[in-house]
Amino acid sequence: QKTAYEIKECDWSSDVCSSDLCRSLLLTMAGGAEGVTAKALLEAGGGTFVYTDILLVAKELLASGAIQESRKGRKATWVAGS
């Protein structure tokens, strides 16, 4: 049985899940010179996804090596993997 954090919230007006949109945006923004933070993703997403979407997607992308994480205190910045 899946937990609430593992269930994808889908936008049924299209066939695209919020986590798919989050993944695409995270990968695009992580490729920039400064990388990307969760706050920047939330703002860029305009309400399309929530913070838990970002954390789940980041965890998957970190595990696959697609992104890398750097931290300053509690603030994580993700950059494209090498």
pTM: 0.76
pLDDT average, residue stretch 70-77: 91
- Please report, rounded to a whole number, the percentage of residues in the chain having pLDDT higher than 90: 45
Bridging pattern class, strands 75-80 and 16-17: unpaired
1-27 core/surface letters (b: 16 or more CB in 10 A; e: else): eeeeeeeeeeeeeeeeebbbbbbebbb
* More confident: 4 or 80: 80
pLDDT tens per residue across span 21-46: 889 999 999 999 889 999 999 999 88
